[in-house]
Structure 1
Amino acid sequence: MGTSNGMPDAPSPLAGRYRLGEHLGRGGMGQVWRADDDTLEREVAVKRIDLPEELAEGDAAVRRSLREARAAARLSHPNVVQVYDVLSLEDRTWIVMEYVPSRSLRQVIAEDGPLDAYRVARIGLDLLAALRAAHRAGVQHRDVKPANVLLAHDGRVLLTDFGIAALDDDILTSKSDALVGSPPYMAPERARFGTSGTPADLWGLGATLYAAVEGQSPFQRTSTMATLAALATEEPDPPRHAGPLRPVLDGLLRKDPAQRMEAEEAERLLRQTVAALDGSAARPVTVPKPRIPADDAIRPRFPGVPEARRTRLIALAAAVVALLGGLAAFVVNRSPSGSAADVAATTAPAATAGGSKPTSVSVPPSPASNPSRSTASKRPPLPAGWSVWTDDTGFSVYLPDGWSPQKKRGTMQYFRDGKGHVLGIDQTTKPKSNPVADWESQSKSRVRGGDFPGYRRIKIESVDYFKKAADWEFTFNGGGTRQHVNNRGVVTSAHHAYGLWFQTPDSDWEKYRKDVLETVFLSFVPAKA
């Protein structure tokens, strides 16, 4: 048995193809690692089934793990984590799944605080779509909870971990399975009678959305027995922050499954909530807890950067170290210019590991200029309200004050302003020869793979930037709104390339393109060769 934070005692690579990487955390009845699939040359997540001792007698482990794989493999839906393979090795079962750079909803609630009703309603619509697809396929999830909801860094919302899912035609499902799950999110009929059904999944959805907007489950108590007792004898605590979301919470959390709101009505009310809050100045705004920087920016691929993305486990929490889930890997493309600037004083938050502190310099803003300039162009003066970030790898770039560096992941450095705007910079020593052709290939692959729901291409074209460069600009649906991205891949020398990924809500694009992105492009200075 391997340790919880190290490599497991298993063949390496598994089945001759899956090379285990960093440990991503624990899921229901198992532990999860990031891995590279050598055969298909892609990243995957590999889950090793670790049942509690009292549940692991006889063939229980094999039975339950195979059920998980069978249940999830029957589903092909944008809001369900895809299962690719199931392995039985050395008396253990391993499940190979889609790797989703993400944080779980549980992590987001713990680290950022409760979400606003608008975002929760959008998440609810995606989860409801996943459950309806599962139910049509004859699959019940039976453990819907925030820990099993992934908020992907590309904007998707996915339901994962069908570890105790019940198939309508699975004769191996036993009553002993009925009480496996999480009491704070367990439907009353399961807790009292061990019975389940599609209404129990809708209860789990309601409890999950309640937790997202209120910060804890409706029946959270100090112990499991107290939670179960409250579930059996009490009504949910009235939500205080749900606003127009409350009717759907009340309907999904009815104790009698026969009276519980059905999926169609839940969808109608969720859409009604989104419509009521979308674009409204009265939309509730939550003030998040002070956030420890986490690498939750999107990491897109870009020309010149190898397909195998490098991600690490991050352990951070408000007062204690907490295990975070698999982290994103979007690759970004950069802009050129100027000489490196040494900096000392800082007004922006101190840099995390892997970078230097930003420096604030009071200089009048420079006139607007063409961001697609050549390496011969000079770096503009530092605008007022901006600082210089000098990375420990040697590159340098201007950043608006308030844009915080996130913890570096491998070669990736992220910056966020806390308002939904993301800048990410990556680099490689193995540039590709044709950035435009590489973007064309990658865009087809990533769109086909479902990375960008509602994808609409704006352009893929070469730009006059260092030795050679290309921009891939597009929009997609993510985070409850339309997102706008410019991904620039740039070769700065025969042995170095950068990527710069810039993303904002589509409604902010024109302002941030002019006010931020153009200055970032103009100010970027690569490391000296």
Structure 2
Amino acid sequence: MTQVGEGHETAADEAGPVMTFGAPTVGEILAERYQLEEHVNNDSAGRQVWRGIDVILRRPVAVVLRHPGGDSATEMLQAAVDASRVIHPNLVGVYDAIDEGERAYVVREWVDGEALRELVGRDGPMDPRRATAIAHSLADALTAVHATGMVHGNVHPGTTLIGDDGRVVLADARADSADSTERDVRAVGGILYYSLTGHWPHAEAGHPSTLPDANRDGNGTLTTPRQSRAGVPAYLDDLTMDLLDRRVTAPTAEALTVELSRLDSSSDDDYEDVGPLRFAQGSASEPVRSTRKIFIGVAVLAVIAVIGLVFGIRAIGDSGNDQLASSPDASTAPQTDAQGNDGGTSTDAPSATPKKFALTADNVRIVDPPKTDRADTGKAKGTVDDDPDTVWKTQGYTTANFGGLKPGMGILINLKSAKHISEVRVETSVPGVTMDARTGTVDPGDNNSGDDKIVKTYKKVNDNSPEKTSGTTELLTGFEADQTYQYILVFISKLPQDDDGSYRVSVQNISVYGTD
């Protein structure tokens, strides 16, 4: 019997490392009501999880203790208060939240069972039907949470509890400003992926953890569950990948619940063929949302149509050559291709298939705006050599915002010529980095004034406010397809906290992909 779930699968809170207090003892009674029975574990945020007894109602409870209380425990306590307002069979019940100053604790429902993380870790990937049922339960719980205007913010295998009675319970709501209903829904896709493969897609699902990352191809692209194991229905494979694909609009939790219910309740004969997806965004009368499989089908039909058109035009041309040759207007009529372009006009559209640009030390340098000793100069070369042992490691700072000394720092990439860019992939040593991509038209110089001008004049390629990275691989997108770029700045504005209490990060590799 294992009870886990409280706390993110991340490092300690940004305020600093969380130290568990003293040594609570078996039999100790908190708030004159909750008797500690057994220390179960310390969660990923450094808090102690205990099995206890409510001596008044005589029911088992889980007690999550944190030291200290006060301001540093505000987020934990507020999340508990918010969660207590939503009653749902697939949400863990929250009974109490108490701040004693020196320590704070949350009292919640005890679930006899274990976390999905441990279940899959021990038994391996799940049967597709069971994976579907678990995702269905989570989506239903999130529907209830989102209906109140709240966000759960902490959906992952450690907070998904599987009771001994088969009940699926979502624990430890803990949303912050970076969380959203969309992120909750995409995390359900991560739960599906983990249940089916035993791997957690860190970058796509959010909530970094010590779980093994998803399988990826040579370009770092996520492989599908069907590519990882046999027996995954094509429909479930498509659904999982669509939920994890940020290019595909995420459904509401309610729409996802309806879709998973349709799959969950299908008969064995229909389970393999229940598509297409029916994400109705808002009302049942809206059109069915296209999925990856539909996109592929449309593309195939388009190719067939073009081929048919080409051969049809060729056949008509062959049969009418004599007539065209004798026509007085044949020599002067403009010649057009199948797209209506005349023969004297050519288009220089970029290729549709992105490729990785070759980068060397000559293409990159550190940008560090303030007047300092520029100790990081020359260290950018380790980020483009595809060697995980050579990195750029920032110096340690006292706070996440570089100790207030500067707005941030980063790596300037000079592609040497203007190119069409699709994305920049950045690999870091740990998650929790706030970064974005910026572009400009010139490098004013590798010096303090030049770097200061870059930071002040380069424009972000994405209007969205940058969020903390949820994994160690981040995709920076937002580049305009019809524009070309020569200078790209990968700019870090906030650092994660290291084990020694300082704030720093190592940038292990940077890759630029484009269509030139």
TM-score range normalised by the length of the shorter chain = 0.3 to 0.5
Higher alpha-carbon Rg: 2
TM-score normalised to structure 1 length: 0.41
Tell me the TM-score normalized by structure 2.
Answer: 0.42
